[in-house]
């Protein structure tokens, strides 16, 4: 926060002369559990909730809370707003968020699907509605946030109704270093083979996914280069990554009974021309027709990549989580003041 303060107030490049010019501060916090369905003002109760869910997001919530408290030290009583990654997914129904475990595990420990990347999925869903000329609650979409962390969300009438990440960000599609979906019995098997739970936690979160399959990198760009040179495991990693995402798109097409558009965002979703082709090819029978020329022309910017006769639109929308947080913060603080 000291570094940020110096950047913001830099005499030549800073946007403000003093931190006192800043009227509010917005934060992204990963896990808010079932407590919040939208962005909220920071208070003592909120900080306790963030601490409570640190157990489920140990890599994210504690640093998030540290940032909130540091702002309090530097900026005093300036209003702070928290945007939870889980909030957009609180509209998911029981049939989608409950696991087939003894119900007491949900009742006692709140073990359920929460979903993540909600700020990103919400932003691109709202922008997609604008591009399609529809109201924000008049669209059915499949939004694909693809980066080092990846998640797919089914959006019905503008609201999240299912998403690939679960209790933690480990579930779902293959990611940069996360395994995504696996048979839970794999863990039991490996424990019997002598692995410790802490070791498996590290393996599944930090040494699996694209990195684990390829043995080379978690970066799609590196893998595509190596695959072109004949590296078989890099090619396999890319194919598995695309296949798992395609499976989720197909599943959510069934959940939604068709959709208006499939939306790609995140570092890979926005820039991965070859990966988008891997994911979307040979899906014509479910209404998805990729235009290869348009796909090659859209990298790092907003655009359409579908053929004219595609029943399902294919959109690339750069996410703007910072902008979404800033808008929420402004609206909440102004509303409170007025």
54 and 173 belong to one structural domain: no
In a shared domain, residues 298 and 327: no
Q: pLDDT (tens digit, 9 = 90+) per residue, 231-246?
A: 999 999 999 999 999 9
Which listed residue (2, 10, 85, 328) is catalytic?
85
pLDDT of residue 337: 59
Say which DSSP state 145 is in: E
Give buried/exposed letters for 273-303 (b at 16+ CB in 10 A, else e). bbbbebbbeebeeebbbbbeeebeebeeeeb
Residue 129 inside a domain? The answer is no
Q: What residues are paired with 239 via a beta bridge? A: none
Asked if the structure places residue 34 within a domain, the reply is yes
Over residues 101-145, the pLDDT tens digits come to: 999 999 999 999 999 999 999 999 999 999 999 999 999 999 999
**Which residues constitute the domain of residue 95?**
2-113+322-337
Residues 74 and 180 in one domain: no
Mind listing the pLDDT tens digit for each residue in 44-79?
999 998 998 888 888 789 999 999 999 999 999 999
* Tokens encoding 291: 């235009």
Residue 69 main-chain phi, psi, to 5 deg: -70, -35
Q: Are residues 79 and 147 in the same domain?
A: no
83-87-91 Cα angle (round to 5)? 155
In whole angstroms, how far apart are CA 246 and each of 38, 73, 116, 240, 288?
Answer: 30, 47, 19, 10, 11
Could you tell me if 169 and 301 lie in one domain?
yes
Residue 124 lies in a domain: no
Tokens 């475990």 correspond to what residue?
A: 101
Q: Kindly report the CATH number assigned to the domain that includes residue 327.
A: 3.30.420.40
Tens digit of each residue's pLDDT, the chain (338 residues):
889 999 999 999 999 999 999 999 999 999 888 888 889 999 999 999 899 888 888 878 999 999 999 999 999 999 999 999 999 999 999 999 999 999 999 999 999 999 999 999 999 999 999 999 999 999 999 999 999 999 999 999 999 999 999 999 999 999 999 999 999 999 999 999 999 999 999 999 999 999 999 999 999 999 999 999 999 999 999 999 999 999 999 999 999 999 999 999 999 999 999 999 999 999 999 999 999 999 999 999 999 999 999 999 999 999 999 999 999 999 999 876 55
Q: Do 46 and 100 lie in a common domain?
A: yes
Residues 160 and 188 in one domain: yes
Asked if residue 125 is part of any domain, the answer here is no
Note whether residue 119 is domain-resident.
no
**Total tally of structural domains belonging to the chain:** 2
Are 95 and 104 contacting, i.e. CB atoms less than 8 angstroms apart? no
Q: Which pLDDT belongs to residue 54?
A: 87
Q: Identify the pLDDT of residue 29.
A: 93
Is residue 253 located within the same domain as residue 331?
A: no
Task: Say what the pLDDT of residue 180 is.
Answer: 98
Do 105 and 184 lie in a common domain?
A: no
Helix residue spans in 215-320 (DSSP H): 220-228, 232-256, 266-271, 273-280, 292-297
- Does the residue 147 lie in any domain? yes
Give yes or no: 239 in active site.
no
Write the CB contacts of 267 (distance below 8 Å, at least 6 apart in sequence). 146, 147, 148
pLDDT at 334: 86
Query: Which residue in this structure is represented by tokens 């691109």?
Result: 124
In this structure, are 300 and 326 located in the same domain?
A: no
Please, are residues 204 and 178 in contact by the beta-carbon 8 Å criterion?
yes
- Calculate the alpha carbon distances from 161 to 126, 164, 255 in Å: 15, 11, 9
The answer to whether residues 118 and 39 touch, using CB atoms and an 8 Å cutoff, is no
Contact call for residues 33 and 114 (beta carbons, < 8 A)? yes
Q: Are residues 9 and 147 in the same domain?
A: no
66 in a structural domain: yes
Identify the sign of the CA torsion 200, 201, 204, 208.
Answer: negative
Phi first, then psi: give them for residue 35, nearest 5 degrees.
-75, -25
Measured distance CA(48)–CA(167) in Å, rounded: 19
Please indicate, yes or no, if residue 283 is contained in any of the structural domains: yes
Closest by CA position to 320, among listed 45, 35, 121, 92? 121
Verify that 141 and 287 share a domain, yes or no: yes
């Amino acid at each position: 926060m000291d570094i940020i303060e110096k950047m913001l107030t830099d005499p030549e490049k800073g946007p403000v002369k003093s931190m006192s010019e800043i009227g509010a501060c917005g934060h992204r916090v990963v896990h808010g559990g079932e407590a919040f369905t939208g962005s909220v003002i920071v208070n003592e109760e909120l900080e306790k909730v963030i601490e409570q869910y640190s157990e489920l997001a140990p890599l994210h919530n504690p640093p998030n809370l540290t940032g909130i408290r540091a702002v309090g030290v530097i900026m005093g009583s300036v209003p702070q707003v928290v945007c939870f990654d889980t909030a957009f997914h609180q509209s998911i129904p029981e049939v989608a968020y409950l696991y087939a475990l003894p119900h007491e595990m949900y009742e006692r420990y709140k073990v359920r699907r929460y979903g993540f990347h909600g700020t990103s999925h919400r932003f691109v869903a709202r922008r997609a509605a604008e591009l399609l000329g529809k109201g924000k609650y008049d669209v059915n979409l499949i939004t694909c946030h693809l980066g080092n962390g990846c998640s797919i969300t089914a959006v019905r009438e503008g609201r999240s109704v299912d998403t690939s990440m679960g209790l933690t960000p480990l579930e779902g599609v293959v990611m940069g270093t996360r395994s995504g979906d696996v048979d839970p019995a794999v863990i039991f098997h490996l424990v019997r083979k002598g692995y410790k739970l802490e070791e498996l936690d590290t393996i599944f979160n930090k040494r699996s996914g694209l990195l684990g399959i390829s043995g080379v990198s978690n970066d799609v760009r590196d893998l595509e280069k190596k695959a072109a040179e004949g590296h078989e495991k890099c090619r396999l990693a890319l194919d598995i990554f695309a296949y798992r995402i395609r499976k989720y798109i197909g599943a959510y097409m069934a959940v939604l009974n068709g959709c208006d558009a499939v939306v790609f965002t995140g570092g890979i979703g926005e820039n991965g021309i070859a990966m988008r082709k891997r994911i979307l090819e040979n899906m014509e029978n479910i209404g998805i027709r990729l235009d290869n020329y348009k796909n090659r022309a859209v990298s790092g910017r907003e655009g359409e990549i579908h053929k004219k006769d595609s029943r399902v639109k294919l959109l690339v929308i750069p996410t703007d989580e910072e902008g979404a947080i800033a808008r929420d913060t402004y609206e909440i603080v102004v509303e409170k003041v007025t």
